[in-house]
Structures are given as structure tokens and as C-alpha cells.
Chain A
Amino acid sequence: MIIRTRLAAGACALLALLAAGVAFPAGAVADEVSATAPKVDLVLDVSGSMRARDIDGQSRMAAAKQAFNEVLDATPEEVRLGIRTLGANYPGDDRRTGCKDTAQLYPVGPLDRTEAKAAVATLSPTGWTPIGPALLKAAEDLDGGEGSKRIVLISDGEDTCAPLDPCEVAREIAAKGIGLTIDTLGLVPNTKLRQQLSCIAEATGGTFTSVEHTEELTDKVNQLVDRAADPVVTPVATDGADRCEKAPALKSGLYTDREEFGQQRWYRVDVRPGQELRASVSVAADRAVNPSYGVLVRAVTVKGREIVRGEAAGTGRTDVVSAGLRYPKAEADDDEDAPAETVCLQVTHSFSAGAGVKTAPGLPLELTVDVVDGPSPARDVASFGLGRGWWLLGALILAGFLAGLVWGWLSRWRVAVWRTN
């Protein structure tokens, strides 16, 4: 019976898609937009435990459905939204099958609200909670395009498919360099779930929220979808070398890289005389790290002399530690087209991994490089050599008065000399 309804729904969806295709032949225009369109994949836990009736007197599933309906109504036009389920289809006891149970309910693409809502309505709590595999598949759903990518995971129980740790899965997804953020929402106030979901969120720079009411769920998912729609600068992946000679040459821009524990990363930037180099580096703690850490960025000449450094250190809970430096290169006196100087940037961090935490892949590193025109010159200690204050006024008045006295005395003396002659 269930299978038949699903088949019917599938046929309907196909028809609707075809109709949409006929109705909007301007696919070429859409293509241009969709390359940079933000993509969001909502991943919903449809495991058996979603039957529990503890959210505003209704079942977790009903709350999620209600929230999804409202979110689908409020989704901004430009967002490409998809829905993926986990544990929706296999009701049996076989762990291996249950842990593969994740399916795409609605593909990531231009949103047809009615169709998406119809798809959500078919869901009923069924199986296991394979969070890790679902995240992997969701990352595949979002592949391609240059816009921001976001997975919103809504779950009511921790992953039941060990040994694949969803936290490590999240870190690996982030390490692929596709600029993906995972936000997690927990439907149950339970310590283990909290730990797991906040670990997943932190691994990708996302947020974790514990939800106890339908309204909170709706608001939060809406907020996250809106956030995805905000235009953000997408960083360019680069690969720093272990010494300056082999380092990649960077121009002004925003870059990401990965830096393992105890590793050095080198980059090169060309700075012409009269330009100023500005670089800032943030190293993110995407896993459990020990509570003392630091970052050092040095600007070094090709010969190895340090020009300037930026350093920062900290303790306690943190998402990133960051430092920056600037290097104004003086104007060349004689030569108009003096050659550019190659400045090597060395980045090291002193994070250390907590006990039992994997050290690969490296920590995410974000690097901004700006080479701006015009060095920033110093002229005088005071502003244009000007002064201020009552002492200055007093000194000027005294000097003026004394000068007047002398001048008056001089002219009187001259008159006297003239009169005697």
C-alpha cells in the first residue's frame, strides 16, 4: 500500500516537473543564477523514536512536519532547497541495512512548495538513525555550484550506526573544501545527543540548537535558511607549502587551507614599492583541542629575514584564533618601475589535539591577503607639527610679548639715535 502511494506520488512529481519544464522554458537564465545560488539540504531524522509525543503535546514527527511546512512557505526565492531523510524506509532489525537507510525526499533545486509539502506529508517514523551516512549523502546532494552550502540536521537521537562517527564524517566533509556548514537541531534535551550534535556543528563552523517547542524549531530553521541566502564571500582553496620557495603565489583575496598540528604553511605575496601588504590568518578549532593555543604569522623576506609578525594566543573554549600583520613597503626613491618584492608568509599554530582525537585532516585555516596602494607614511610625532594645550598658548603669548618688547625697545633706541644725530 505504502509502496503504491509512493509510486503514485513519484508519478505526480514527474508530471509536475515536466509541466514546470514546459511552463518555464527560460532554463538558460536560471542556469546562470543557479551557479551561485545558495543551497540548503534539510536532513530530517525519521527514525522510530520520532513517534514520541513530547513536543507541545504532539509527536516529534508532527512538530517537524508543521515546522517544515512553515519553512517551505518562507524560503527565499533564490535558495535551492532539498530534503533528505534518514531512517525513513527500513523498519527491520538488521543493523547493516538500517544504517544505509537514507533517501532523498526532495532534490536540491528550485523549490516547488506544494510538491515539497506533499513529499513531507508522506513521512512516518520508521527506522534507525544513520546520521553519518546521511551527512555524506547530503554533501553529495549539495555538490557543485559556487554559492554557500548548508546542511540543517534535525534529529532526536544520537547516531546508532557506530563505528562511523558522524563528527568525523562532518570534519571530512568540511575538509573537502566545498565550503559547507552543518547546523544541527536536537529535539530532545539529552546530554549524549547534545554532545554529538554540537560536535558535528563545531566541526564545520555551524551552530547547535536544542529545541523543545514547534515554534522554536520553525524559527530556527527559517533563520538558518535565511542565513544561507545572505551573500558571502567564498574563499578560494589554496595549498600552502612547507617552505617559501615552493609556496603558492597569492594575490589579494580570501583563501582557505588546512594545517595539521605542528605543521608550517608558507605562502608568497608580491609587494611593489609604495604598496602595503595586509594579511590576517584565522585557524579554526574544529575538534576537541587542549585549552591553550596560539597562532603566529610572519612576513619574511626570501632571504629569511623577518620583517614583521602577528601573533595571538588564548585559552579556553574558542572557534578560531586569529592574528594579522601589515607591511608598508616604502616608495622607491630613484626608480619608477622598481621590481616587486616577494614576501613570504609563514603560518604556524600551536593547537594540540585532545586525547583520542584524530589529527588528520588538518585544522581549517582562513587567510585574507590585501595588497593596497600607497604606503602609510609617518611624518611627525604630532599632527603636522601642530600643538595644543594651555602650555602651548602660554609659551606663544610669552614669546610674542618678549618679541614685542624687544622690537619696541629697538625702535625707541633707533629714534633716540636719529634724534642725537
Chain B
Amino acid sequence: MRMTRVLGAALLTLGLAAAPAAADSSPSPGASGDADAPTRAGTSFRTATEIEQGQTATANASTGDYLYWSFPADTGQRPTVEATVKLPAEHAAETWQIDVYDGLRRRQACRFGAQTRTAAAGAAQVELACALRTVRGWSEPWDGDPLPGTYYVRLTAVDVPTSALGQPVSAEVRVGSQDAGGAAAVDGSLAQPLVPGAGVTRDDEEESGEEALLASLEPDDGWASGWWSDRWVWTGLGGVLAALAGIGGYALTRGAGRPPRVPPSA
């Protein structure tokens, strides 16, 4: 009877411990709907249009334009940028590319995804994707790891014949992300996320809502402080299980309580 209770408790705790592991693979919930998604794109880092993760931003532009968007990404996320460019009915073969830059305007590598793709002459659209590395809470200054902060997406035609310059195209950009969970947790954290313009002191009284900022968007629930990871759950449960196992081991060698022949007064 007692054995089954112990076993049951152990199974329960094991199940709980497995829960965070299962949660790792679920994608983070999308941001708000596309109702207020931006319908334009910036033309430089300075004028990049801000989008939130989960939003689909659209823009009408011309072949040859450099289109810029920016989005916030936080610790533990694995952002994926997807872009679709709808090309005009008649065009020559042209190559499109997305580049992702971090808040320090350093180009970030794509783990996988068709970052550059050539649309054959007359193709209706071209689809591009770039899956970034995991955003770490901290890295060495000499390192190029993605860090929490603003990310820039640049979409452009990198190889285009002069005859195609200026043709109308429409572009669509989505940013989604997966949560990497505590497996990617590192210790240490940035004093402030890598948001451009973070060091500029502003006069809050003077400026109104229309203030120009290099980047203003934050993740839905603010920037992570960096102390939480599912490692707390793993380690805590490990402690509990170790205690239980300790009790089990003790019971095994110590035997069942005091020997019956020992008088209670002893």
C-alpha cells in the first residue's frame, strides 16, 4: 500500500517535470491581429517601420527599393522572418533577398531558410525566409550572438536588370518565433536590451506622443528580466525527487522503525 503511494507520487512528479520539456516546442502565441498591421515599409535603418511579432506587414513598393522593417525579439526566442514578394505580370529574372540585422546593425546569420531566391522570368511571386539563431540573454562583446532587442529586416532585389527597376511590387513580411526554453538559457543579462537610441535621454515633458524614435516597440509583456527559465522547475523537482529517494534509501537500510523489543522509555 505504502509502496504504491510512493510510486504514485514519484510518477506524478516525473509527469510534472516532463511538462516544461513538452512546452518547449510550442510556438509563442501571436501578437494582436492584423487589423492594425502596418501597410508601409521604411527605406533605411533610421526610418524602418516597426512591426510586432505575429503581425503581417504589407507594403507597396518598386523593384529596386530597399524596404526596412524592425521588430522586437526577446531572450529565448528563435525568430523566423518570412517574406513574400508579388511581382508584376511581366518581368525578367530577378533575385530577391532578405537580410536580418540586430539592434547594433550587425548582420545576423540565418540557420536555414531561403534567404536569397531567384524568381524566373514571369514568376508571380517569390517567397523568402530566414530562421535566426536563438536570442541569448547575454554574450561576450566580441561575439555576434543574437541578443534581446530590436531586429531589422531588409528586403530588396539584389540582382535586377535595369529594365525591371521601378516596376510596382507588393511585399508582405511576417515574423514569428518559437520559444527555445531553458535549454538555451545562459547566465548574465544585458543591462538594457539592444534597442537603438536607448542611451539618448529624452525630455518627457516637452515631447508629445508623436515623438520620433529609432525604435519604440517592446515584446507583448515587456522585456524579460532574464532571471526566469524552466531550469528552476527542473532543479526544484530534482531536489524534491532527491529528497524522496533519500527517504526511500533511509527506509531501506534503517528498517521499520524502532526494534519492537526496545522499551518505549529507553
Minimal Cβ-Cβ distance residue in B for A311: B106
A191 contacts the other chain (Cβ, under 8 Å)? yes
**Which A382-420 residues sit within 8 Å CB-CB of chain B?**
382-389, 392-393, 396-409, 411-412, 415, 419
* A386 x B159 contact (CB < 8 A): no
Find chain A residues with CB under 8 A from B251 CB: 404, 408
Known contacts A210-B165, A223-B40: does B253 contact A408 (CB below 8 Å)?
A: yes
Find chain A residues with CB under 8 A from B44 CB: 205, 319-320
Of listed B104, B106, B158, residue having the most chain A CB within 10 A:
B104
Q: How far is the CA of A411 from the CA of B258 in the complex (A)?
A: 11
A315 CB to closest chain B CB (Å) equals 9
Binary CB contact string for chain B from 162 to 184 against chain A (1 if under 8 A, 0 otherwise):
11011110000000000000110
A1 contacts the other chain (Cβ, under 8 Å)? no
Known contacts A252-B200, A282-B105, A396-B239: does B187 contact A383 (CB below 8 Å)?
A: yes
Known contacts A370-B196, A370-B199: does B101 contact A401 (CB below 8 Å)?
A: no
B160 contacts the other chain (Cβ, under 8 Å)? yes
Minimal Cβ-Cβ distance residue in A for B67: A207
Minimal Cβ-Cβ distance residue in A for B188: A378
- For chain A, the count of residues having a C-beta within 8 Å of the partner chain is 92
* B253 x A412 contact (CB < 8 A): yes
Known contacts A219-B60, A382-B231: does B252 contact A405 (CB below 8 Å)?
A: yes
Minimal Cβ-Cβ distance residue in A for B212: A231
Q: How far is the CA of A253 from the CA of B198 in the complex (A)?
A: 9
Binary CB contact string for chain A from 217 to 246 against chain B (1 if under 8 A, 0 otherwise):
001000100110011111100000000000
Contact partner of A368 (CB less than 8 A), chosen from B107, B214, B227, is B214
* A382 x B187 contact (CB < 8 A): yes
Binary CB contact string for chain B from 242 to 266 against chain A (1 if under 8 A, 0 otherwise):
1111111111111100110010000
B70 CB to closest chain A CB (Å) equals 13
Q: How far is the CA of A387 from the CA of B229 in the complex (A)?
A: 10
* B162 x A195 contact (CB < 8 A): yes
B185 contacts the other chain (Cβ, under 8 Å)? yes
B237 contacts the other chain (Cβ, under 8 Å)? yes
* B238 x A207 contact (CB < 8 A): no
Contact partner of B262 (CB less than 8 A), chosen from A209, A234, A419, is A419
- For chain B, the count of residues having a C-beta within 8 Å of the partner chain is 86
Known contacts A310-B104, A370-B197, A404-B250: does B211 contact A377 (CB below 8 Å)?
A: no
Find chain A residues with CB under 8 A from B137 CB: 383
Q: How far is the CA of A396 from the CA of B240 in the complex (A)?
A: 9
Known contacts A198-B166, A231-B211: does B191 contact A372 (CB below 8 Å)?
A: yes
Binary CB contact string for chain B from 38 to 62 against chain A (1 if under 8 A, 0 otherwise):
0010011111000000000000111
Binary CB contact string for chain B from 122 to 161 against chain A (1 if under 8 A, 0 otherwise):
0000000000000001101110000000000000111110
Interface stretch among A41-49, A124-132, A322-330?
A: A322-330
* B167 x A210 contact (CB < 8 A): yes
Minimal Cβ-Cβ distance residue in B for A315: B158
Q: How far is the CA of A281 from the CA of B232 in the complex (A)?
A: 40
Q: How far is the CA of A417 from the CA of B226 in the complex (A)?
A: 53
Q: How far is the CA of A191 from the CA of B102 in the complex (A)?
A: 37
* A308 x B258 contact (CB < 8 A): no
Find chain B residues with CB under 8 A from A197 CB: 166
* A404 x B159 contact (CB < 8 A): no
B37 contacts the other chain (Cβ, under 8 Å)? no
**Which A92-130 residues sit within 8 Å CB-CB of chain B?**
none
Known contacts A366-B46, A397-B242, A403-B246: does B231 contact A208 (CB below 8 Å)?
A: no
* A389 x B234 contact (CB < 8 A): yes
B4 contacts the other chain (Cβ, under 8 Å)? no
* A208 x B62 contact (CB < 8 A): yes
A302 CB to closest chain B CB (Å) equals 19
Find chain A residues with CB under 8 A from B242 CB: 396-397, 399-401, 403
Known contacts A282-B105, A308-B142, A383-B187: does B250 contact A319 (CB below 8 Å)?
A: no
* A378 x B162 contact (CB < 8 A): no
Minimal Cβ-Cβ distance residue in B for A403: B246
A137 contacts the other chain (Cβ, under 8 Å)? no
Find chain A residues with CB under 8 A from B110 CB: none
Q: How far is the CA of A408 from the CA of B141 in the complex (A)?
A: 51
A75 CB to closest chain B CB (Å) equals 16
* A254 x B231 contact (CB < 8 A): no
Minimal Cβ-Cβ distance residue in B for A404: B249
Q: How far is the CA of A253 from the CA of B65 in the complex (A)?
A: 27
Q: How far is the CA of A46 from the CA of B261 in the complex (A)?
A: 118
Q: A195-B162, A397-B242 are in contact. List 7 more A-B contacts (CB 8 A).
A: A216-B168, A324-B104, A368-B105, A380-B188, A388-B182, A388-B183, A400-B241
Could you tell me which B residues sit within 8 Å of A by CB distance?
17, 40, 43-47, 60-62, 64-66, 101-107, 137-138, 140-142, 156-160, 162-163, 165-168, 182-183, 185-192, 194, 196-201, 210-214, 227, 229-232, 234-235, 237-239, 241-255, 258-259, 262
22 A/B residue pairs, CB under 8 Å, sorted by A: A191-B163, A205-B43, A207-B64, A208-B165, A252-B200, A280-B103, A317-B159, A326-B104, A372-B192, A375-B191, A378-B187, A379-B188, A383-B229, A386-B232, A387-B235, A388-B183, A397-B241, A400-B241, A403-B246, A407-B249, A408-B253, A415-B259
Closest 10 A/B residue pairs (Cβ): A404-B249, A324-B104, A400-B242, A374-B191, A210-B166, A370-B199, A408-B253, A408-B254, A252-B199, A404-B246
